[in-house]
Amino acid sequence: MTTTGEPARRLWAPVRDWALWERPRRWVVYTLTTEALTLALAVAALVFVPVSGKQMLMFGVLAVLGVLQAEMSRKIERARRSLNVTPHVSMTSVWMLPAILLLPPQLIAALAVTFYLHLGIRSWSGIQHAAAHRTVTNGTTVTLTCFVASWVTHAFFGANPLASGTEVAAAAVCVAGAMYFLVNTAITGGGLYLAAPEKASVKRIVGTWDDNLLDLATLCIGGMMVIALINQPLMALITFVPMFVLQRSVLAKQLEDLASKDQKTGLLNATAWHHQGNQEVSRAGRTGGEFSVLMIDLDFFKKINDTHGHLAGDDMLIALADMLKRETRSHDLVGRFGGEEFVVLLGGSSELEAVIAAERLRHLITELVVSTQNNEGKPVVITERTASIGVAAYPEAGQTLDEVLAAADAAVYVAKESGRNKVVGATNRPVVVTTAG
């Protein structure tokens, strides 16, 4: 019994230890259901949908071009993927859009498998964010997206829309691209919501403007690829240049963000905040303007880490950062200096105006409700947090940014020493704060 059971246990152990099972159960069910549906549709197509020699040739052309392009940009793709903390937008849609219009479902699935197998082995292997189940999920999502887009496009335009005239072909390409974008967003967004419903937001589920513009840009290149393949196939090689430039520009933007943003909260880091703050000092000095700085320090933050763990503490910091971004103006500078210390520069605001704004933020902090997990994975809700806020204004508190910051920091110390959960102005002038209700 031991002899026959031991190999079975050795085979089962790797499956049991997959990172997939560490994800929330609802996400696992959603993902496995999506993968099962995709596999069933691919098998059904393999049995019932005929494949022509011309379609096999087109599959070969797309597979070779896609793999060749991925090899040429492999280092860039690997760097992009290693830096990503948000859903990764790959370049596969450039090749999958032509597949929607030119290939049957089983070859669409085979093309997606080819691309993602190559990406997983050559570009993403060894990267922390690229666990095997993520690569499989990405490939499944793209395949199912293409199935739906292909069905809708051919339902509207017939079996061979690209042979029905220039206007019809252009419309078919646009519909295929739009369906790809919408269906992919829906499937991906559903997975992101189920993975962490407590963190659900439009930005998290739908993505940022930059993410969506990049996705649309790759689809536009894919549309040009369709036109090239049906008219002048050799012209398809020209699209390698804009794709390479697009990937390099996206990588440059990611590196710029990495250098200027706090990676935990997405706010400006200390270096970037000081740089932009000094620009505000120069502007105010030239124009005789003013600005104020708020130093925000969460009270007893260490207790959150000690009681619930550092992941819960991180979620608290992220929730506070999101609130500060929502409740400040687009031209205000919001940054994190480390730990539980945040700083806000309010352009054009006097100390009195800044104290009123700080009092509103202090009140909003007491109303924050943060749903998170402790170190054991059990759900935890953090409420009734408070903060001490110091306020200092330029030029009253100092002629340089460091002097204003020092004054605001000293005001935070006064707020903490006098009982916490307070707003204190650096000049200690009497301030009357009125609140509704």
User: Burial level of 76, CB count in 10 A (0-12/13-18/19+)?
Assistant: middle
In words, the CATH class of domain 270-425 is alpha beta
Is the confidence at residue 432, as pLDDT, over 80?
A: no
Is the confidence at residue 243, as pLDDT, over 80?
A: no
Is the confidence at residue 404, as pLDDT, over 70?
A: yes
Per mean pLDDT, which of 210-214, 291-295, 373-377 is the most reliable?
291-295
What mean pLDDT do residues 400-409 have?
94
d(CA 314, CA 310): 6
Does residue 333 contact residue 271 with C-beta atoms inside 8 Å?
A: no
Q: What is the pLDDT of residue 159?
A: 85
pLDDT bracket for residue 358 (50, 70, 90)? very high
Nearest residue to 92 (alpha-carbon basis) of 62, 114, 115, 125: 115
Q: How far apart are the first and last CA of the chain?
A: 75
Q: What is the pTM of this model?
A: 0.65
Is the confidence at residue 37, as pLDDT, over 60?
A: yes
Mode of pairing for the β-strands spanning 291-298 and 341-347: antiparallel
Q: What is the pLDDT of residue 11?
A: 44
Is the confidence at residue 383, as pLDDT, over 50?
A: yes
Region of poorest pLDDT, from 146-155, 202-211, 312-321: 202-211
Region of poorest pLDDT, from 33-37, 230-234, 331-335, 428-432: 428-432
pLDDT bracket for residue 234 (50, 70, 90)? confident
Q: Which residue has the higher pLDDT, 410 or 211?
A: 410
Q: What is the pLDDT of residue 229?
A: 85
d(CA 91, CA 348): 44
pLDDT tens readout for residues 268-281: 999 899 999 999 99
d(CA 132, CA 115): 14
Coil/strand/helix, residue 281: helix
Cβ atoms within 10 Å of 313's Cβ, excluding its own: 23
Q: What is the pLDDT of residue 258?
A: 67
Residues above pLDDT 90, as percent of the chain: 47
d(CA 234, CA 214): 25
Q: Where in the chain is the domain with CATH 3.30.70.270?
A: 270-425
What mean pLDDT do residues 237-265 have?
74
pLDDT bracket for residue 89 (50, 70, 90)? low
| Cα torsion angle, 162, 167, 168, 174, sign | positive
Q: Which residue has the higher pLDDT, 248 or 373?
A: 373
Q: What is the pLDDT of residue 255?
A: 64
Average model confidence (pLDDT) across the chain: 84
d(CA 409, CA 78): 42
Q: Is 387 left (phi over 0), alpha (psi -120 to 50) or beta?
A: beta
Residue with tokens 């259901």: 33
Q: What is the pLDDT of residue 231?
A: 80
Q: What angle do CA 417, 422, 427 make, to 5 degrees?
A: 80
Is the confidence at residue 376, as pLDDT, over 90?
A: no
